[in-house]
Structure 1
Amino acid sequence: MEWLTSPFEVGFVARALWGGMLVAAICGLAGTWVVLRGMAFMSDAMSHGMLPGVAVAALLGGNLLLGAAASALAMALGVTALSRSPRLSRDTGIGLLFVGMLAAGVVIVSRSGSFAVDLTGFLFGDVLSVRGADLAVLACALAAALLITVACHRSFTALAFDPRKAATLGLRPGLAQGLMVGLLTLAITASFHVVGTLLVFGLLIAPPAAVSLWADRIPVIMAGAALIGAAATAGGLLVSWHLGTAAGATIAGLAVACFFASALAALVRDRLPLRPVILKGH
């Protein structure tokens, strides 16, 4: 069993494990609403649309988190503005902003003289370089995400399943949508500099989608998503340590593999005929 525990005795691997588990918990909370509300494309666009803000912050020597948050906020406001047009669908607005923001970010990064390194770090992060300060930021982000989720649970639930009924009940779906996007922005910006945008997106979508095939209660989906994300983090770090693969990409790949395994098991479950239970004595 030494092969299973020895990697986590190394300081930077242990910090990577804790960082990944915190990210998994944050993404479990936000990702559940992303899956239920059908916001996967928007979350992908926001995660990659942060590149201009990150690039500008890096070039100016500023805080990357603030740059990412500003860019994600601009993306969210732009999507909201374009979605109000009766001539454009929501997906069209998201797609246009996605491409525009990503292109602008690549142009800015290409002027820095370290294009390949910066872009690779943005996409894949460096989970093995997690510091104590990063863990503190992630812990604060988790606390904020948990507070938003608990405070807005009723509004988010109504918005996810029936926005018109939410308006009828006076739950202010417009405000709830804004807070949901804020929760998504919090999850992405707090996590991307540690694990990269691809891993954030993978943990946002794959674990909640895997659990939603088996559970119909939102708290159960959130808890299950956090557990799957934590398991993918631990497994990915083990594979990366022993096989020399990229840690972030391995974790994301395992998270997606968990979804496909869950989907396959659910397909088998749905195809199997239900057998009647025969009680003794009858």
Structure 2
Amino acid sequence: MQWLLDPFMVSFVRRALCAGMLVSVLCGLVGTWVVVRGMAFMSEAISHGMLPGVAVAYLASANLIVGAAASAVVMILGVSWVSKNSRLSEDTGIGLLFVGMLALGVVIVSRARSFAVDLTAFLFGDVLSATWSDLVWLTLAVFAATAVSVVAYRPFVALVFDERKAHTLGLHPRLAHLALLALVVLAVVASFRIVGTLLVFGLLVAPSATAALFGRSIVATMGMAMLLGWSATALGLIVSWNADTAAGATIAGLAVLQFFVAILIRAAISRLRTAGPPAAAPVR
């Protein structure tokens, strides 16, 4: 049992646990809407599209979070502009801007050799370096995401299941869609400092996708996603400590592993139900 408790005897691991659990709550709330709305590709593009803003903010000695948020907003506006002014689908615009923003970020980074270490932290995060200010910021982000989800719950549900009906009922589906995009930006920007842009997508989608396999309602899916995120965080930190692996990558990897394990379990349950009980032998 010592290997199980030893990691949490250290203060920075306890802070990492708190940070990971807050990220799990935030990503559970937002990720559920992302999964049921089918916005996973857009979320991934936003997480990668922040690189130019972060790079510019770093070179200008400005706030990285402000730079990341500005870049994410540019990404969203660009996708909307391409979709509106061409006959191409939204996915095409997302793909083009995804590559373009990422390429622009790498070009900017290549002009500053001292950025290499910080780029690694940006891509993969460093949950073990979480500070008390990070925890405060994440807590505020969780409260904001919760407030938006509660206030806009009906418009979000209507948008997810029937956009035309939402318009008929006067629930403003376009405004609801923008609010969902704002939640995605909030979750990604708040979390990238902890788990990095390449890994935040895993925590944003994997626990919610796993929960969606079993959850019978949106609220239940959110709650289950949070619990799965917590378990991935705690187990990931334990594995990382004992196996000497990257903490953020281990947490995100376990979150994805949970999804595939859940699929196998669900498939096994489905086969058992289909097979049914063995037929009774005829009585002679």
TM-score range, shorter chain: over 0.9
Instruction: Report the Cα distance in structure 1 between the residues aligned to 2:270 and 2:204, rounded to whole angstroms.
Output: 26
- Aligned-pair distance for 1:115? 4.8
Give the AA of the match of 1:33: W
- Aligned-pair distance for 1:86? 4.9
Show the 5 A alignment for 1:197-208.
197-208=197-208
Give the AA of the match of 2:147: L
* Partner residue in 2 for 1:280: none
Whether 1:48 aligns to 2:48 is yes
Whether 1:271 aligns to 2:284 is no
* Partner residue in 2 for 1:91: 91
* Partner residue in 2 for 1:154: 154
Whether 1:237 aligns to 2:237 is yes
Instruction: Report the Cα distance in structure 2 between the residues aligned to 1:68 and 1:47, rounded to whole angstroms.
Output: 9
**Structure 2: stretches of 5+ with no match in the other structure:** 278-284
Q: Is the 8 A contact 1:109 1:118 kept in 2?
A: no
- Aligned-pair distance for 1:83? 1.9
Show the 5 A alignment for 1:56-205.
56-205=56-205
1:189-219: CA deviation from partner (whole Å, max 9, x where unpaired): 0110121012210011100100111112001
Q: Is the 8 A contact 1:126 1:196 kept in 2?
A: yes
**Structure 1: stretches of 5+ with no match in the other structure:** 277-282
Instruction: Report the Cα distance in structure 1 between the residues aligned to 2:179 and 2:69, rounded to whole angstroms.
Output: 14
- Aligned-pair distance for 1:2? 2.0
Instruction: Report the Cα distance in structure 2 between the residues aligned to 1:76 and 1:9, rounded to whole angstroms.
Output: 43
1:117-165: CA deviation from partner (whole Å, max 9, x where unpaired): 2322111011000000000000000000000000111111111111111
Give the number of aligned pairs.
276
Range moving further from structure 2, 188-197 or 80-89? 80-89
Percent identical across equivalent pairs?
61
Instruction: Report the Cα distance in structure 2 between the residues aligned to 1:69 and 1:265, rounded to whole angstroms.
Output: 39
TM-score normalised to structure 1 length: 0.95
Q: Is the 8 A contact 1:19 1:135 kept in 2?
A: yes
1:17-37: CA deviation from partner (whole Å, max 9, x where unpaired): 000000000000000011001
Instruction: Report the Cα distance in structure 2 between the residues aligned to 1:194 and 1:215, rounded to whole angstroms.
Output: 28
Q: Is the 8 A contact 1:79 1:90 kept in 2?
A: yes
